[in-house]
Structure 1
Amino acid sequence: MKFKKTLSIVAIAAFAIACSTNPFTGKKTLALVPNSQILPMAYQQYDQFLQENQVVTGTSESRLIKNVGQKIATASERYLTSNGYAGYLKNYEWEYNLVQDEAVNAWCMPGGKIVFYTGIMPIVQDEAGVAAVMGHEVAHALANHGQQRISATQLQQLGAVAGNIALADSPENQQIFNTAYGLGSNVGVMLPFSRKHETEADRIGLTLMAIAGYDPVAAVQVWQRMSQQGGGAPPEFLSTHPSNQTRINNLQNWAAEAKAEARKYGVTSFKK
């Protein structure tokens, strides 16, 4: 009886799954939670983060972050409009800030709220390097990767609930299931899902930076410098991100393709 109940829960979940379309790949993606709910929360969290951290203003680096961000956003609009997605960005509120923090990092919240840490500036080095990282972060927002992660987490949690209901008569088996399910769903599903998003953002980001007039080879150089930072990294299959060398190889392979796409928009020279 409990097994039937479990199947019913899974069936309900399957019917409840909503999808959206990735405008860059044309593929259907998970969208259990609509952006109308996600974006207001993201904007609130972003504002809170800025209040709690030191935002750098009035410097050449802070101005560079904003200028490049605007160029990448304009390139995004051009691409989306040209490919039948006019109005796709209507609820986005682009914002680009440099924050004082030694971490070598940058990130983007759903809806186009972007932060660069000062720690990444020596790695990006110049305008084209900023464009490489900016393109990657903007790509996460455009492809709704945040929405997909939230949806995947909900499905993961639902699977755990279903398994525990099915094994309710055996606490020992529940414990075994929870251990195996936690490890299996993370290593076998969630981590590959995250790496796929990073790879997708790398490829989309190359296209966006090229349309904005930047040489995609700059992205290769950024990751080459990143790989020289040292520090241990987990094996790729246990990481949320592809290895540095995997990213470098991919970016090298995609650079010419990104330039070819940019030429469709009249871009014939690329800033290095």
Structure 2
Amino acid sequence: MKFFLITFFSLSVFFVNAQNGSIKGTVKDQDNQPLIGATITLNQDRGTLVDVDGNFKFSNLGEGSYNLEVSFLGFESQTKKINLKEGEIFAIDFTLEESEESLQEVEIIGRKARTYKNSTTFAATKTATKIKDVPQAVSYVTKEVIADQQAYRVNDIIKNISGVNTFSYYDDFSMRGFRSGDTYINGLRVVGLFGPQPLLANIERVEVIKGPASAMFGNSVPGGVMNRVTKKPLREDRKSINFTLGSFNTLRTTADFTGAINESETLVYRLNLAY
């Protein structure tokens, strides 16, 4: 029994010593400034983030070969191979260069359907994605609902979305009890739209991501974020003028013109007017 305990203790000490290697280093830009929050991946199964001083560290590593990858938004990624010896503390530094990448393509998709149902959303992924494939809670109001309800402004149609209410007379809403932040237009974040209630003459549909997941796409508002999808230009020549008259001094005029500009129909336009 005494021999067994001594053997077990010796094996435990050997195992601990075999795993006491580490890799540490810094990640900075070309101006020698730390890239706070840069992602460090070790063999694609372990990861960490760079701290406020630009440092990172992986501990309890055994002897062997490791691939260290560093990535940060707006900078070119770097990968280095490290051969770590038993018990070694390996120091390595990264200097990332800024990347020149063009912005992603913006998709604007119209709908041929004439029902109240919509199957595509821009809000959750910034691309045209099927709502059934999006894990977030997405509500919407289509142009058919807007037309049948004779809605004039965005504030007139939010009554169709549960949990969303008008916060003030301006372009200002509350979502699940939290005041709304920035707004999306066609999946792109737009800052500083606070002002009069926008008209719906050029709006295809309105989408709302509800709940804390919206903080990943908006201004960190846990209640939700709103996305407005504009109407898409068409190759067919279409022209429409509408007049609306009613009580309470209601007078509204809208015009919608779309079509191809050149004969090959490679250049199209859409003009929406409202008064």
TM-score surpassing 0.5?
no
TM-score, length-scaled by structure 1 = 0.21
Please identify which structure carries the higher strand content: 2
> Computing the radius of gyration over CA atoms, which structure comes out larger, 1 or 2?
2
Q: Pick the structure with more helix per residue.
A: 1
- Structure with the bigger RCO (C-alpha within 8 Å, sep 6+) is 1
